[in-house]
Amino acid sequence: MNPDILRERGNASFNTEILTNILDGGAEKTQRRREIENMVISDPDFQHEDLNFLSRSERYDAAVKKSAQMILKLREYGISDPEEIYCYKSVFRGHHHEALGLHFVMFLPTLHSQCDAEQRRKWLPLALSFRVLGTYAQTEMGHGTHIRALETTSTYDPSTQEFVLNSPTITSIKWWPGGLGKTSNHAVVLAQLHTQGRCHGLHAFIVPIRCMRTHKPLPGVVVGDIGPKFGFDEVDNGYLKLENVRIPRDNMLMKYAKVEPDGTYVKPPSDKLTYGTMVFIRSMIVGESARALSKACTIAIRYSAVRHQSELRPGEPEPQILDYQTQQHKLLPLLATAYAFHFVGQYMNRTYHRITSDISQGDFSELPELHALSAGLKAFTTWAASAGIEVCRMACGGHGYSHCSALPAIYVTFTPTCTYEGENTVMMLQTARFLVKSYTQASAGQQLSGMVSYLNQARDRLQAQPVSARPTVVDVSDLASLVEAYKQRAARLVGTAARNLQVEMQHSQRKEDAWNNTSIDLVRASDAHCHYVVVKLFAAKLGEVGDTAVHSVLSNLALLYALHGITQHSGDFLQAGLLSVPQLSLVSQRLKELLRRLRRRRAAGGRLRLPRRDARLRPGPLRRKRLRAHVRVGQEVPPQPHRGSRVLPQVPEALAVQAVRRCLSTRRDSSDHSSVLNTQTDT
């Protein structure tokens, strides 16, 4: 271990074990997480080759074999709890994705949430035993985020009690679903439901796409891999064209909406229930933002602790670059952001499961806010995390550009979250639609609850006031005061956007034009709302922390996060009369003081970060990331010999392995992605 790291850790000002327990949700969960991590780290079956030296085809092969091994190991160890499965998967895959990712995170959750009781009895055993390998086919060549415009059709034929699925145009071809290119034999397909001469919008259907015996495409199914991408080399993102593919009536997911044998349509209690899987994934992505950013911060801060460069004082030894204020200013606010997003992710996970439970009891009252909040926070956190990961990479200089730092892999793996499951700008506009509606309701005298309750007095905050005219002045050292400032900023921007929309509607012939002409204001309002929610939840978490030293450190991080946000959006706070110009100078001064304080406490040499990352840096399957903490730049790093792509141990015979082997033995050539266009010249 590098002596700089050891010295920094020895100077920690708080008990890192207590903080780890807080992040994990308790000491028992920390112990169990470590047990699961050790299962992977000590398992010789996962001492794999460095994927950086493999071709895309070899990386896919390795990912499929590892996924099969993982399935067998989960069974061997008896791991069945969803959180424990997620923990195991996170350790075993490292910074890369797995071939069966969508089977776990979208296909199975969709079956759980949208199948009726009879369908669950049929499909879940097949999916859980991996006889059925599934994906989630929503995005099309022509439409992604605008899901109402998806073109794939599913027309009910009452004479046979079957649905007939078609991709009527080139733009209707499903494009991008992971696992679709080579791996899956079934897909949950989102399609426009037609019955009795009417279209009833998007619904989900289970569609067999490959023979479960030979793994060849079924009649009417044109399927393959879309080819190389910016990242995700281990994942077979694919395309799917359907030509008069017939499925039984009960292959429509019918927990909420259904079609009777005679073709009668029974609508769901809420249209948004169809999008339940997307809401679930968006809620998960918030937590993923924290995890990805925390990995990058861990690497960059540890690197900054061992990297010595230039001179602070002539004639003295080169200092750690973490001692430079500019380096602290790059990294420590991002560290605070990672903590903030971690606690917000915990909140979203609890909220999703609570509201899902309410929905099962027939209570849909909180579903609109969950939909809006998950969309907005998904955009807010992924934008910030993606930009932050890149800052961490650049903070490591040239070494950050090397794959041995793991930062390029973290970036290319995470940055697609800004696009998939809803393009971020569109997500912000969806949140804005809910905020404008809530503002209108509050203006009409309706009392709001939940995260938008601050809009109950929004009209009173629309007129800017000088600070001297306000009854209270924001205290830049008091977190509660800053939470209030963020709340008032959000209220003002939401109110301003709603008012501008109303003015625009008076001049525009169409409401849609007015919305488009106000969209910049609407996105700003959503961003301010999400920023307020994050600051509020970070501050609220402090009330649950009993240890004085840990509370002090987290309080400083929360304060740093709030103050850094003010420096980034100072114009909003000035325009709203929440801060004066002299106070902005105090904000800058206080922020610098926090940087010095956090650095002086050493924070265990970069250990003031999500401590769960420690296990990722032990010797074992991830030992190739040796640059981060074990080698001081300037020392020679022994070259790691290239190992071939066939060193994985033989996988034991099992049902899951047989399934993925069929994928490997019958997979289509990577050039197949062009055939779909060659066959569509007549459409």
Residues noted as catalytic: 421
Say whether 419 sits in a helix, a strand or coil.
Answer: coil
Q: How many CA atoms lie within 13 A of 274 on its CB side?
A: 21
Rounded CA-CA distance 167/173 in Å is 6
- On whether 224 is known to bind a ligand per the annotation, the reply is no
- Work out whether the CA dihedral 146, 491, 484, 544 comes out positive or negative: negative
Say whether 518 sits in a helix, a strand or coil.
Answer: coil
Residue type (1 letter), 304:
S
Tell me the C-alpha to C-alpha distance, in Å, between residue 275 and each of 186, 191, 225, 282, 635.
Answer: 19, 12, 26, 11, 53
Query: What region, left, alpha or beta, does residue 315 occupy, with left being phi > 0 and alpha being psi -120 to 50 degrees?
Result: left
Are 601 and 554 spatial neighbours (Cβ–Cβ below 8 Å)? no
DSSP string over 227-252 = ---SS-TTS--EEEEESSEEEEGGGB
Closest CA to 517 of 527, 506, 526, 528: 506
DSSP string over 586-633 = HHHHHHHHHHHHHHHTTHHHHTSS-GGGGGGGSSSTTTT-TTTTT--B
Tell me the C-alpha to C-alpha distance, in Å, between residue 669 and each of 141, 181, 231, 236.
Answer: 21, 10, 19, 12
Beta strands in 409-556 (DSSP E): none
Would you state the structure tokens that stand for residue 147, as one six-digit string? 């899901």
Q: Which residues are annotated as a binding site for FAD?
A: 139, 178
Binding-site residue positions: 139, 178
